[in-house]
Amino acid sequence: MPLEASSLLSACFEDFGYAKSGYTNLTGIDYSPSAIQLSEKVREKERMSDIKLKVEDFLAPSDELSGFEICIDKGTFDAISLNPDNALGKRKQYVRSLCSVLKPEGFFLITSCNWTKEELLNEFREGFEILEELPTPKFCFGGRIGNSVTALVFQRKKVRPSILDKLD
């Protein structure tokens, strides 16, 4: 993926690994103002002033949070999934929000310690297709091999015009 691709980091905290890897068009969001304040301090210390940071709730993104080529999630979906208040509804809202912030055919990278590949494929079946499973550490227990973390790359499906759009 091009280093200048517009990229959204959900729940950015103070992770600037992507910027250190050469990505130049990064926007980090978090619903917590204190997390953004901490990220701002790290950004200043690391001299990475070109990273944009915003207080935003990913489940209710503002209109200006759109048109990203890449969205990277390293824990937001996991945290939302663990919410005891309507977790299923919030997971569905997450997918809707993801569709609204990504361009058609944009990329979604997710790292999860709570979901298997098969479960994530099911969660993101509407609107996304799997491109790749990234290698993660494996473990063996009881003769079976598994992963403690799942990392997948999805692509947002191209939006097809609806028959209803043609009726206007």
User: Which DSSP helix (H) or strand (E) runs through 58?
Assistant: none
Judge whether residue 164 has pLDDT over 50. no
Mean pLDDT of 3-24: 82
Mean pLDDT of 61-81: 94
The HSE-up count of residue 15 (CA atoms within 13 Å, CB side) is 14
Q: What is residue 161's predicted lDDT score, i.e. its pLDDT?
A: 59
Task: Indicate the pLDDT class of residue 162, thresholds 50, 70 and 90.
Answer: low
Task: Indicate the pLDDT class of residue 139, thresholds 50, 70 and 90.
Answer: confident
Q: What is residue 14's predicted lDDT score, i.e. its pLDDT?
A: 56
Rounded Cα distance between 39 and 155, Å, is 28
Tell me the H-state helices in 64-135: 76-81, 87-101, 117-123
Judge whether residue 168 has pLDDT over 80. no
Q: Report the alpha-carbon angle 9-160-27, nearest 5.
A: 15
Domain covering 7-167: architecture:
3-Layer(aba) Sandwich (3.40)
pLDDT in tens, 86-118: 999 999 999 999 999 999 999 999 999 999 999
Both tokens assigned to 118: 């098969």
- Global pTM exceeds 0.95: no
Mean pLDDT of 32-61: 91
Judge whether residue 124 has pLDDT over 60. yes
Mean pLDDT of 140-150: 87
Judge whether residue 165 has pLDDT over 70. no
